Amino acid sequence: MLLKTLREQVLDANLELVRRGLVLYTFGNVSGIDRSSGMVAIKPSGVPYDELTPEQIVVSDLSGKIVDGGLRPSSDLPTHLELYRYFPNIGGVAHTHSEYATSWAQAERPIPCFGTTHADYFYGPVPVTARLTASEIAGDYELVTGTAICRTFADLDPDAIPAVLVAGHAPFCWGASASDAAHNAVILEYVARMACHTVSINTESRPLAPELHDKHFLRKHGRNAYYGQVKSQ
Ligand SMILES: [Zn+2]
């Protein structure tokens, strides 16, 4: 079996979505990439999570050619591949239709940063894409979904904001690995739920002050981060 470890990591990241209550039935998919070979491992299409095995995880190259695996990949594979091609530092992508994040996507509203929980993970509002045009939807829909995400990040740093809301659809999240992407999907849902509650309590709630936003994001990320334990070399 090609890329056994990556497949096991991708399987576990997919199951993490189930453990955290982010997916129903066969909704959602997580992939991971081995950057040295350019191979991507992704959940197969339409297989129930409780039946998934590492052997069923499909391996493709960055052009979408299936390299290993007997099942069809998730139909969202072209979206994942577009993100891997344009965001060079990411190692995993997670897509869910989790309730609150999807609600913001359907409302076509970016998720404002109302608090430090959000600021710890996302350096600014979680953006929402433009709507796809009729011809884009009729064409290579999943690929164009990825292109719309990349366009949304033309002036944003995908390493600092590891999530997006696809208008009328749902979130895509990413991270350094498949498990990191799934983790960000879980956090995004939590942040989206709290943001929804925040605006329902006070429709005039204000975004977090920039200096507090900076403090929280930068103490966890970047050169001068000091949150948590020192990683052994
Ligand atoms: Zn979807």
Q: What is the pLDDT of residue 233?
A: 46
Residue type for position 182: A
From ligand 1's centre to the CA of 222, what distance in Å?
31
From ligand 1's centre to the CA of 96, what distance in Å?
6
Q: pTM (2 decimals)?
A: 0.95
Q: What is the pLDDT of residue 6?
A: 97
From ligand 1's centre to the CA of 37, what distance in Å?
27
Q: What is the pLDDT of residue 222?
A: 77
From ligand 1's centre to the CA of 224, what distance in Å?
36
Strand-strand pairing, 39-42 and 92-95: unpaired
Q: Which of 86, 120, 141, 159 is catalytic?
A: 120
Q: What is the pLDDT of residue 40?
A: 98
Can you tell me the distance from the alpha carbon of 226 to that of 220, in angstroms, rounded to the nearest whole number? Answer: 6
From ligand 1's centre to the CA of 207, what distance in Å?
28
Active site residue 49: no
**CB-based burial of residue 81 (10 Å sphere; 0-12 exposed, 13-18 middle, 19+ buried)?**
buried
Can you tell me the distance from the alpha carbon of 41 to that of 84, in angstroms, rounded to the nearest whole number? Answer: 12
Residues with CB in 5 Å of ion ligand 1: 170
> What does the pLDDT profile of the chain (233 residues) look like in tens digits?
789 999 999 999 999 999 999 999 989 999 999 999 999 999 999 999 999 999 999 999 999 999 998 999 999 999 999 999 999 999 999 999 999 999 999 999 999 999 999 999 999 999 999 999 999 999 999 999 999 999 999 999 999 999 999 999 999 999 999 999 999 999 999 999 999 999 999 999 999 999 999 998 989 887 788 888 765 54
Q: What is the pLDDT of residue 121?
A: 97
Question: Look-up: residue for tokens 């999943």?
Answer: 142
Smallest CA-to-CA distance from 220 within 127, 122, 153 is with 122
Active site residue 227: yes
Output the CA torsion sign for 211, 217, 219, 222: negative
Determine the 3-state secondary structure of 124 from DSSP. Answer: coil
Q: Which of 61, 140, 214, 227 is catalytic?
A: 227
Q: Which residues of 144-175 are buried (b: 16+ CB within 10 A; e: fewer)?
A: bbbbbbbebbeeeebbebbbbbbbebbbbbbb
